[in-house]
């Protein structure tokens, strides 16, 4: 093999590049290497080897980063799949699997060379650069770029190199994360014998070195080396005494690697498995039977959709399935939708598998991430828990991947490339490893349920809720019509029934959760008298308020109307720009119930590490009566003392200009409702809405997933939305609105031309339209949607310049 395809760590590298392998290096797939790229040296990962170069002129690989491959062949294969499916640069996909802190840069340093050249012929810039280098003895390329500009620096340095006035060397950026080591003290061998120690002690006493004598005595009594830290706890001035003993050659001090354990603050007593309920038993058996029948074959991956109502004991089914695969010598991964929820899951899993659980997420310190990663790689744990990125833990013998609350949108990486969906990657990884996948939810993603209906996934159901009262019904839900509240003169955000229910819960010493869907704050306009919402006559999605233009704009087709004063339906002046914040609700609750203890949970209050866990623990331990929160409170919390769940407004989500707004709202409503009544007492749910007849609200109030699914699937089929088609979202961002729009229109035309050339039927291009977050961080964003059974095909023939983001299978269209 003389050539290597290398995925290079550079934003401009959209595909792998061919490099020649110098004879002195032995290069393998999955290995990290240094390669010249433009004027720089960058890290890259070898993804393929070949005898023939795929291009004529190739550069040589400069060096190896590590002697052995950092990635396994399975990992490189998974990365290739991710980069092909999500149209992302290959390095981005590979980087998901690299050890924490692995990515480093090589920095070029410029030094003066021994030269007798006459400097008078140099340009002022060349002299300036030489001057800087002389002053610093050696200057880094970034320093010089900063001094005279990036372009200029490159040119001038090349000229000086040509004149042999300077030399260039490469140095690696400092290692960001290192293993943590602590010093341990060990007796030097001969003094380990009793008489030797006695003689040494006597000598020390003679010199009045009593402390050293004491330490020496203590060390002879130990069977294992003792850490300096430990000695410090027992003896004053221990480290000075250790140093003295060391200089007398009586002890040696060695640094020993220790693990920074992110779970060390947890103390969970091991707990035995409870007796399964009959439905759990049946679920476990059917999962087990399929795994035995189909599993453990590479290329196959049985996928289970565990459809169980809230509180039906899905976690116990996960734990049993894990126990089984662990006893077969395999390991598992359990994904949770939010870092904030790892705590609850880690506790439950640790008490079943004490000491065998690892956790991986970005909330850990860099050192903890590094150690956890190593700990997993060395095969010390059976289960890894974490958000979507935990999928890339270096686990061997993978037997099972669990995705809890599989409908959650957080499983899609949206903010950066690769824009992957953890569910789809999990299924691919399972296929490559011969593992099984369990997707669990009370409100499955429409796509997942559709696959289960088609027979692609095995549907496993848990229909009853388990509480300390035994099987019990889901909480009773009532719908409050907010138009009636207004008629009765109540302009606050809490209806009379909700106020009464809060009062009742407080009097009984129970807890309440109030949920607010903040997505879409102040974006759509609604009449508070008749409930009218401005919608696009063509697309029927809600119009979005653009205050700069004073217009309401359709984010699908760009239809727009000016903002008016009165409602076009009832002509009254009760138009409201929607947006009630958690803070407002908190103020209102404390106004009505000054004695109630309130907790607000949203991104504004959660700033510190562990803050989520502390807040949740406070609430669980009943240090507060009412929890007011956004999305977070809708995600799988098990809080037995909560008897009331109130939804401040079901409409925020419903009127969101997205084809999935119905699905999303249904899921949120059911999940929030699912928080109430999980303990000894029955629960109650109140949904406040201006659209009491909406089928989403109605179905949620009946806990009727199937009813909702049927309606939703009809709608998707009729309008050709996923799962009946696939979408690709193309977003272009630029600081100038006009340029941004024009570029979006240019690409739109290119795509239309391609479509015409190929005579593609079944291929829609939607847009260009402004993105929902139209102006984000000072940049305007315009977007296009491609919709077809295979929309990626057209993009292989259209080149998108820098600035375009590609999102394959976006979770939403706003
Ligand atoms: P889900 O994840 O389906 O919402 P959980 O797994 O949180 O449900 O279970 C709900 C409650 O029922 C938890 O408090 C759990 O401890 C309890 N539970 C689950 N299975 C059993 C069982 N077999 N016996 C007794 N309690 C159970
Ligand atoms: Zn429209």
Residue nearest to atom 6 of ligand 1 (CA): 313
d(CA 283, CA 461): 7
d(CA 417, CA 471): 45
What is the DSSP track for 468-496?
TTEEEPPPEEEEEEHHHHHHTT--SSS-H
**Proximal ligand: closest to the CA of 559:** 2
Output the CA 255–ligand 2 centroid distance in Å: 67
Beta strands in 405-524 (DSSP E): 436-441, 458-462, 465-467, 470-472, 476-481, 511-515
Is any ligand 1 atom within 6 A of the Cβ of residue 315? Answer: yes
Comparing 433 with 606, the larger pLDDT belongs to 433
Question: Residue 178's pLDDT band (boundaries 50, 70, 90)?
Answer: confident
Residue 443 has pLDDT above 80, yes or no: yes
What average pLDDT does the chain have? Answer: 84
**Proximal ligand: closest to the CA of 284:** 1
Please identify, by atom number, the ligand 1 atom nearest to the C-alpha of residue 309: 3
Question: Residue 519's pLDDT band (boundaries 50, 70, 90)?
Answer: very low
Comparing 793 with 394, the larger pLDDT belongs to 394
Give me the pLDDT at residue 125, please. Answer: 85
Output the CA 310–ligand 1 centroid distance in Å: 9
Question: Residue 540's pLDDT band (boundaries 50, 70, 90)?
Answer: low
pTM: 0.81
Give every CB contact of residue 263 below 8 A, 6+ residues apart in sequence: 346, 350, 357, 359
Give me the pLDDT at residue 772, please. Answer: 65
Mean pLDDT of 154-182: 79
Question: Residue 705's pLDDT band (boundaries 50, 70, 90)?
Answer: very high
**Tens of pLDDT, residues 191-210:** 445 567 777 777 777 777 77
**Tens of pLDDT, residues 741-769:** 899 999 999 888 888 887 777 788 888 88
Give me the pLDDT at residue 580, please. Answer: 55
Peptide bond into 428 cis (omega under 30): no
Task: Please say whether the beta carbons of 637 and 644 come within 8 A.
Answer: no
Output the CA 313–ligand 1 centroid distance in Å: 4
Question: Residue 457's pLDDT band (boundaries 50, 70, 90)?
Answer: very high
Is any ligand 1 atom within 6 A of the Cβ of residue 312? Answer: yes
**Tens of pLDDT, residues 229-249:** 888 888 888 888 888 888 887
Which of these ranges, 193-202, 402-411, 702-711, has the smallest mean pLDDT?
193-202
Is any ligand 1 atom within 6 A of the Cβ of residue 696? Answer: no
Q: Record the tokens describing residue 238, joined without a space.
A: 């221990």
Is any ligand 1 atom within 6 A of the Cβ of residue 314? Answer: yes
**Tens of pLDDT, residues 9-29:** 887 767 888 999 998 988 999
Neighbours of 728 (CB within 10 A): 21
Q: What is the DSSP letter of 573?
A: S
Share of the chain above pLDDT 90, in %: 31
Give me the pLDDT at residue 426, please. Answer: 97
d(CA 81, CA 392): 14
Give me the pLDDT at residue 522, please. Answer: 44
Residue 473 has pLDDT above 50, yes or no: yes
Torsion of CA 449, 451, 452, 453, to 10 degrees: 90
Give me the pLDDT at residue 476, please. Answer: 87
Output the CA 510–ligand 1 centroid distance in Å: 20
Residue 169 has pLDDT above 80, yes or no: no
Is any ligand 1 atom within 6 A of the Cβ of residue 517? Answer: no
Give every CB contact of residue 132 below 8 A, 6+ residues apart in sequence: 139, 143, 144, 147
Is any ligand 1 atom within 6 A of the Cβ of residue 440? Answer: no
């Amino acid at each position: 093999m003389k050539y290597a395809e290398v995925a290079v760590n550079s934003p401009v590298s959209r595909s792998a590049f061919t490099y020649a392998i110098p004879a002195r290096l032995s290069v393998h797939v999955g290995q990290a290497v240094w390669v010249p790229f433009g004027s720089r040296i960058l890290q890259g990962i070898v993804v393929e080897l070949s005898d023939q170069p795929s291009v004529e002129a190739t550069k040589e690989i400069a060096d190896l980063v590590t002697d052995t491959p950092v990635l396994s062949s399975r990992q490189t294969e998974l990365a290739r799949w991710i980069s092909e499916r999500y149209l992302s640069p290959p390095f981005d996909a590979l980087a998901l699997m690299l050890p924490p802190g692995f990515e480093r840069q090589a920095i070029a340093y410029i030094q003066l060379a021994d030269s007798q050249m006459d400097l008078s012929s140099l340009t002022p810039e060349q002299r300036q650069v030489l001057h800087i280098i002389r002053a610093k003895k050696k200057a880094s390329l970034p320093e010089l770029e900063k001094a005279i500009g990036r372009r200029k620096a490159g040119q001038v340095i090349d000229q000086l190199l040509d004149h042999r006035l300077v030399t260039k060397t490469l140095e690696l950026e400092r290692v960001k994360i290192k293993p943590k080591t602590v010093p341990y003290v060990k007796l030097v061998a001969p003094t380990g014998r009793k008489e030797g120690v006695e003689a040494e002690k006597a000598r020390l006493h003679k010199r009045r070195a009593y402390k050293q004598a004491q330490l020496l005595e203590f060390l002879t009594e130990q069977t294992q080396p003792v850490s300096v830290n430990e000695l410090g706890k027992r003896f004053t001035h221990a480290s000075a005494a250790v140093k003295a003993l060391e200089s007398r050659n009586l002890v040696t001090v060695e640094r020993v690697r220790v693990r920074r354990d992110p779970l060390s603050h947890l103390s969970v007593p091991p707990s035995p498995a409870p007796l399964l309920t009959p439905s759990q038993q049946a679920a476990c058996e059917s999962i087990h039977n399929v795994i035995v029948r189909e599993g453990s074959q590479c290329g196959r991956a049985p996928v289970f959709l565990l459809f169980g109502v809230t509180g039906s004991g899905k976690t116990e089914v996960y734990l049993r399935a894990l126990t089984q695969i662990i006893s077969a010598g395999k390991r598992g991964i359990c994904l949770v939708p939010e870092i904030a929820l790892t705590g609850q899951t880690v506790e439950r899993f640790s008490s079943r598998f004490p000491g065998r659980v690892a956790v991986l997420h970005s909330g850990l310190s860099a050192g903890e991430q590094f150690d956890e990663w190593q700990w997993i790689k060395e095969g010390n744990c059976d289960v890894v828990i974490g958000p979507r990125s935990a999928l890339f833990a270096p686990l061997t013998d993978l037997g099972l991947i669990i995705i809890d609350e599989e409908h959650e949108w957080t499983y899609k990486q949206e903010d950066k490339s690769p824009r992957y969906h953890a569910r789809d990657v999990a299924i691919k990884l399972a296929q490559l490893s011969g593992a099984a996948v369990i997707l669990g939810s009370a409100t499955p993603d429409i796509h997942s349920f559709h696959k289960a209906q088609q027979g692609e996934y095995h549907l496993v159901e848990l229909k009853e809720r388990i509480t300390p009262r035994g099987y019990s019904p889901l909480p009773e839900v009532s719908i409050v019509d907010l138009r009636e509240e207004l008629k009765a003169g109540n302009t606050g955000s809490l209806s009379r029934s909700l106020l009464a229910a809060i009062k009742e819960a407080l009097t009984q010493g129970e807890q309440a959760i109030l949920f607010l869907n903040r997505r879409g704050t102040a974006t759509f306009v609604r009449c508070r008298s008749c409930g009218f919402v401005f919608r696009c006559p063509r697309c029927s999605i809600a119009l979005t308020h653009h205050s700069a233009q004073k217009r309401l704009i359709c984010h699908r087709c760009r239809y727009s109307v000016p903002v008016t004063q009165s409602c076009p339906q009832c002509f009254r002046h009760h138009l409201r720009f929607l947006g009630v914040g958690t803070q407002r609700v908190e103020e209102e609750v404390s106004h009505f119930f000054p004695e109630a203890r309130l907790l607000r949970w949203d991104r504004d209050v959660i700033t510190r590490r562990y803050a989520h866990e502390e807040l949740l623990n406070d609430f669980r331990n009943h240090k507060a009566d009412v929890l007011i929160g956004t999305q977070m409170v809708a995600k799988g919390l098990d809080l037995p003392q909560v008897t009331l769940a109130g939804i401040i407004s079901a409409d925020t989500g419903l009127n969101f200009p997205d084809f999935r707004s119905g699905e999303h709202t249904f899921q949120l409503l059911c999940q929030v409702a699912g928080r109430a009544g999980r303990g000894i007492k029955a629960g109650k749910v109140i949904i406040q809405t201006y659209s009491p007849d909406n089928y989403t609200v109605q179905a949620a109030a009946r806990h009727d997933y199937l009813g909702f699914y049927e309606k939703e699937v009809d709608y998707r089929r009729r309008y050709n939305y996923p799962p009946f088609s696939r979408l690709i979202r193309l977003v272009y961002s630029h600081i100038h609105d006009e340029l941004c729009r024009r570029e979006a229109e240019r690409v739109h035309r290119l795509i239309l031309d391609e479509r015409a050339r190929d005579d593609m039927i079944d291929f829609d291009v939607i847009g260009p339209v402004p993105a929902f977050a139209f102006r984000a961080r000072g940049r305007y964003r315009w977007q296009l949607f491609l919709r077809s059974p295979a929309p990626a095909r057209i993009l292989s023939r259209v080149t998108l310049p820098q600035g375009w983001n590609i999102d394959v299978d976006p979770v939403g269209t706003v």
